[in-house]
Chain A
Amino acid sequence: MATPNTPLWEVFIRSRNGLAHKHVGSLHASDATMALQAARDIYTRRGEGLSIWVVPSSAITASDPAEKAMMFEPAESKIYRHPTFYEVPEEVGHM
């Protein structure tokens, strides 16, 4: 029997500076333990992170870039969601 293709995982790393986990790339591994070890070897050879998440790529649901206009339209027209929409007199100072 042929060996099945090794599953793909997405790798997220939280760097030292306290930011959120950030996507850094992907790798192949047959299970989660091996994916974590491979992620350490591939993506943190120079102390890039304090914490790693690995997620099976097949578990990700992505938006369709071709539909991006429709997808993000609701936010486009709502300029009143930004602080600069509101006028505050200069005398009031920084707000």
Chain B
Amino acid sequence: MYTQALNTAEADDRGLEDAAEAAQFQARIDAEERIEPNDWMPAAYRKTLTRQISQHAHSEIVGMLPEGNWITRAPTLRRKAALLAKVQDECGHGLYLYAAAETLGSSREELVDAMLAGKAKYSSIFNYPTLTWADIGTIGWLVDGAAIMNQIPLCRCSYGPYARAMIRVCKEESFHQRQGYEIMLTLCRGSDEQKAMAQDALNRWWWPVLMMFGPPDATSQHSDASTKWKIKRFSNDELRQKFVDATVPQAQYLGLTIPDPGMTQDADGHWRYSEIDWTEFKQVLAGNGPCNRDRMAARRKAHAEGAWVREAAAAYAAKRAQRQTAQAAE
């Protein structure tokens, strides 16, 4: 899970760097070579990637919260096992991504602390509540569906560790989307109340999901450097359009209505959506979404309550190491 809205490149400080090295670096990128952790890279490339990958990781971790909310209330044991596995995957994705971000030189502790201090962002989509079971279906179908659209091009991103992490994530993400769609299909084939619940969830999630792709190209200021560095391969609007075109027929199959009365299909077959309310997006990103405070409070509580475990594990490892050294000395 992910948002392109967070892909903002740092200003390029190449005036301060060796011009020859910078040119050689760009030539490697242009030749589709992968950049690896110990290779020379511009400071702005390192900073941009550290921020993007760590925020992607935070999003995976915070993304466990809205879904975790329904594990104990899943309607059947099969659904419960699947949801638990999905939430475990999100945790795993967060960990692959943190490991990729750390190869750029920040410690795990620094990255996590920046998130807990509110200095690093995570995807705004997780600041919306999961009110009914249909929200779990909608998240899998649409939120994970949007994430896949974003993440597939990242498998070819210029930074090797990030691209490799994305390949693992994408393989697993497909299960998430299918299990979500299956939940929606079951509800839509159920009673009138169940179908109404599915429609209600779609109504609430549709616009926030479209916002996941980030601001429209016309107003997005930072994509140039990311595009030049081949971190980003498609623009926000291109990915959003791909997602809408893929999703409309899926909604039609379910018999659900996309909550956009102005939506039309043009001659090329593309579905044209209405204007997105970007003031809502900015509000949620600024911390004023329905669940921002809850999410931060839950992460801080979990981190604080895990402190004794980290301390005990470190103390145990230190004791063992000391004993081994003493034995070796005998």
Q: Give the residues in chain A near B99, CB-CB below 8 Å.
A: 25-27
Interface-forming stretch among B139-147, B286-294, B306-314? B306-314
Q: Are B95 and A42 in contact (CB under 8 A)?
A: yes
Question: Of the candidates B88, B96, B313, B317, which one forms a contact with A25 in the assembled complex, judged by CB atoms under 8 Å apart?
Answer: B96
Contact B88 A45 (CB under 8 A): yes
| Contacts A31-B317, A62-B38 given; does A6 touch B96 at CB 8 Å | no
- Choice from B85, B109, B320 contacting A31 with Cβ under 8 Å: B320
Please state if A31 and B38 are interface contacts (CB–CB under 8 Å).
no
A3 touches B38 (CB 8 A): no
Q: Does any Cβ of A come within 8 Å of B250's Cβ?
A: no
| Option from B89, B164, B172, B314 in Cβ contact (under 8 Å) with A6 | B314
Q: Which residues of B contact A45 (CB under 8 A)?
A: 85, 88-89, 92, 172
A8 at the A/B interface (Cβ < 8 Å)?
A: yes
**Which A residues touch B102, using CB under 8 A?**
8, 26
Nearest B residue (CB) for A62:
B38
A25: chain B residues within 8 A (beta carbon): 96, 99, 164-165, 168
Interface size class on chain A is 20 to 34
- Tell me whether A6 and B92 are in contact (CB under 8 A): no
Contact B92 A42 (CB under 8 A): yes
Interface string of A5-38 (1 = CB under 8 A from B): 1101000000000000000011111110010000
Question: For the complex, what is the distance from the CA of A8 to the CA of B99, rounded to whole Å?
Answer: 9
Please tell me if the beta carbons of A3 and B88 are within 8 angstroms of each other in the complex: no
Is A66 at the interface (CB under 8 A from chain B)? Answer: yes
Please, which residues of chain B bring their CB within 8 A of the CB of A41? 88, 92
Q: Which residues of B contact A74 (CB under 8 A)?
A: none
Q: Is B330 an interface residue (CB 8 A)?
A: no
Task: Give bound CA distance, A29 to B108, whole Å.
Answer: 12
A6–chain B nearest beta-carbon distance, Å: 7
Residues of B near A8 (CB, < 8 A) are 102
What is the distance, in angstroms, from A83's C-beta to the closest C-beta of chain B?
A: 28
Is B316 in contact with chain A by the CB < 8 A criterion? yes
Instruction: Tell me if B182 counts as interface (CB < 8 A to partner A).
Output: no
Q: From residue 124 to 177 of chain B, which have CB atoms closer than 8 A to chain A?
A: 164-165, 168, 172
A6 with B316: in contact, given A25-B99, A42-B95, A45-B88 (CB under 8 Å)?
Answer: no
Residues from chain A with a CB closer than 8 A to the CB of B307 are: 3
Whole-angstrom distance between the Cβ of A26 and the nearest chain B Cβ: 5
Task: Closest A residue to B313 by CB, please name it.
Answer: A30
Q: Which 7 A-B pairs have the closest CB atoms?
A: A30-B313, A30-B317, A31-B317, A26-B99, A3-B311, A65-B38, A65-B39
- A sample of 16 inter-chain contacts (CB < 8 A) reads A5-B109, A6-B109, A6-B314, A8-B102, A25-B96, A27-B99, A28-B108, A30-B310, A30-B313, A31-B313, A34-B313, A41-B88, A45-B92, A65-B39, A66-B38, A66-B39
